[in-house]
Structure 1
């Protein structure tokens, strides 16, 4: 490619990235709001930790399969439509959370909310693969997914501030976030197209930039691609899925329960929660951006598109497992928040890598469905982690058991990736 070709290229892919960043930020703000409001919800309805664990887990019972369904639909109908309608769906059920009047109603609303949120991760992976060259893919996915912890970081003080200003009205934040979702969906449909070739403001030079190091899937290549089950059976795919399960276990324990842990175990009040609950999310945002940029740089230096990403997952996920097990053992609230911030930073350093490792192992024609299957398996952790956490917190194991069990589960993934995760396997 000549300098003249790249000099005149449009940069619409970054507008698509910005749109995805915005909806993912809202996605996690909506999701985190329930955990942030958790102490007030528990107090109003008199829920036990186990009961609240069911409310946190029922979300994932729909979220997990709809990750697969979203990827499958994105392969067939395009990521633009799938994500746009998903934003509308999850925003409607975010607003309806305010109508919850007890355990059963909240259980139903949270289940439907999970179905709406399910497609976001696999659709994002598909969209970024469509819009970015491989040399920029890690950075693009890192930036896009950095919106998720940023959404949690912003949502924490916002939700707490609204509840504080309204004398503990936990319903109003859900109504506000639901309305914002409708506006986000309108913006999404305005900005995003499935591929750069379909976008009216993308010129040929930008298409060449995006496609120059991609193997474009021809019709013949799609017909000759191995079947879905052959792709899923690859060691690099299932080992990555198990590692991602551990990632999701820690993430969902943190999202669903860390605010309640700070209130119940560390004695944090509502004002303190606005800061203490937000700080780890900031670490996660930095981690996602840094992880994507770091692995892209290593890929360019080493020339191997897979090994740097796999080793980053192995090292950081193993360290995350050990540190998470130690959270309840530190003596001060400041130390607990500091350790959790490091945990979330290391966890999110790996956040963009799972999708790229899978993308290197399977053909483009199968990517949406296979990545959806990986997400469905991995996010099944989001069904069990909040539920197990509630029962452990109420048991004689207490919060110490919560963190140790999560660390033990998470360490399995890095070990498997170490021995079975090589792409050639």
Structure 2
């Protein structure tokens, strides 16, 4: 299976996903150094974490639109190069305001990554393999976080935190060059794709009917469908927990559990590695359930409901344990459950939205879900500064995960069409 060229495309997306999270986690790992140098309060640090997601959320939608219009290859390559430059710009910041601007620009540049990756998978993979493909490339994200923790921590300790951002910039620009040299928007455009593989891809493209290739559906008709709307609610809950973990958990370990930056950099590898297993397992498990039951929506829905609820239980119990070991263990299990669901939101979009609208619709839903990235870090910083503890922040994250799970159970329902997908006529009715 993995000898087919489409899996090499997934490998490149995997590398880009790993690098994407290396860049994001870098600021969280170096936050204790940056906060000390610039004398930042918890609220200011929370605002800096959130500033990334302001630009990121906006360009989720814009990136999806650009991918539909100009193709995912150019948009993805361009955004990879730009975010690498902006992560490098962190090294020349000198106060809170300059940090805020650099993080905002970094977020703008990274915004299209999810929707363009999703669009590439939609172009290159049959429906029966999409959840697996998304699971593989998104597994690169927590692995990137795992690599970033000791790598960035070591560079920051030995050579200063600014050096770490320069190194990441160079690696990103190199990866952007490789991407542009080795990829195409569609398999039929690539000289390395054999005829047999092309037929295999085109045989089961799910929603890629002749009608859906040529006829557009309004964005409003897509997003008002209950299945799409409440998938977005669940996606919001997922991202709130994800961004809470990504931005504040390292500081929680140093401030509440009294770990050194060195020790924190080491132990935070564990949740990221366990999360990568969850990402891989979620995609394979969903596709396996689909093959056994022939119920496409059921195979997506069951993973979402169980994953979000399991994550909620673990996140809620973190504040009840005394030791850093117990906190890391619980958070690792929480991240595993959370990341089981990570690719399913995208899989539902691909399963239910006509191909011409996948980038735009996915971008809009991604925008809504990533508003949580603006809210979670700032709200967490406020609670820490006003109460002196992380307790309320953990309970809020857990409550939202339960809400997302219930939204899936009661409102995300199978679409009753011949192939279990929303087609053009469904949206018109």
Displacement of 1:398 after TM fit? 2.0
Where structure 1 has 5 or more consecutive residues not aligned to the other structure, the ranges are 1-5
User: Following TM superposition, by how much is the alpha carbon of 1:212 offset from its aligned partner in structure 2, in angstroms?
Assistant: 1.3
Contact 1:361–1:423 under 8 Å retained in 2: no
Q: 1:240 aligns with which of 231, 234, 259?
A: 231
Kept in 2: contact 1:236–1:358 (CA 8 A):
no
Task: Please tell me the root mean square deviation across aligned C-alpha atoms, in Å.
Answer: 1.5
Change (3 A) 1:397 1:311: farther
Normalising by structure 2, what TM-score? 0.94
1:279 to 263, 270, 278: 270
Written as runs of structure 1 = structure 2, the 5 A alignment for 1:8-407 is: 11-166=4-159, 169-215=160-206, 217=208, 220-396=211-387, 398-407=389-398
Deviation at 1:223, TM superposition (A): 4.3
Query: What are the superposed Cα offsets for residues 107-137 of structure 1, whole Å, 9 maximum, x if unpaired?
Result: 0000000001111111111111111112211
CA shift for structure 1 position 41: 0.8
SS of structure 2 residue aligned to 1:186: helix
1:11·1:206 contact (CA, 8 Å) conserved in 2? yes
Partner of 1:3: none
Name the CA distance, whole Å, in 1 between partners of 2:368 and 2:232.
Answer: 7
- Deviation string for 1:362-404 (max 9, x for gaps)? 2112111111111000000000100001001112262011100
Distance 1:190 1:204 in 2: 21
Gaps of 5+ in 2: 417-429
User: Residue 395 of structure 1: SS of its match in structure 2?
Assistant: helix
How far apart are 1:220 and its partner, in Å?
A: 4.0
Pairwise CA distance, 1:270: 2.0
C-alpha distance in 2 between matches for 1:209 and 1:263: 51
Contact 1:24 1:147 in 2 (8 A): yes
Stretch of structure 1 that moved more, 157-166 or 330-339: 157-166
Mean Cα deviation higher: 391-400 or 222-231: 222-231
TM-score (structure 1 length as normaliser):
0.95
Residues 113-167 of structure 1, C-alpha deviations (whole Å, 9 max, x = no match): 000111111111111111111221111100000000000000000011112222x
> Alignment length, in residue pairs?
416
Shift of 1:323: 1.4
Distance 2:329 2:207 in 1: 45
Take 2:309 and 2:289, find their aligned partners in 1: how far apart are those partners? 20
CA contact (8 A) 2:61 2:360 kept: yes
Between 34-43 and 271-280, the greater mean CA deviation after superposition: 271-280
In structure 1, how many angstroms separate the alpha carbons of the residues matched to 2:35 and 2:215?
Answer: 54
Residue 410 (structure 1) shift: 2.2
Partner of 2:409: 418
| Cα distance between partner residues in 1 of 2:214 and 2:336 | 41
| Per-residue CA distance 1:66-89 (angstroms, 9 max, x = gap) | 011111111111110000000011
Aligned residues of 2:50 and 2:378 also touching (Cα < 8 A): yes
1:331 aligned counterpart, secondary structure: coil
User: Could you say what secondary structure the match of 1:393 adopts?
Assistant: helix
CA distance in 1, matches of 2:251, 2:12: 32
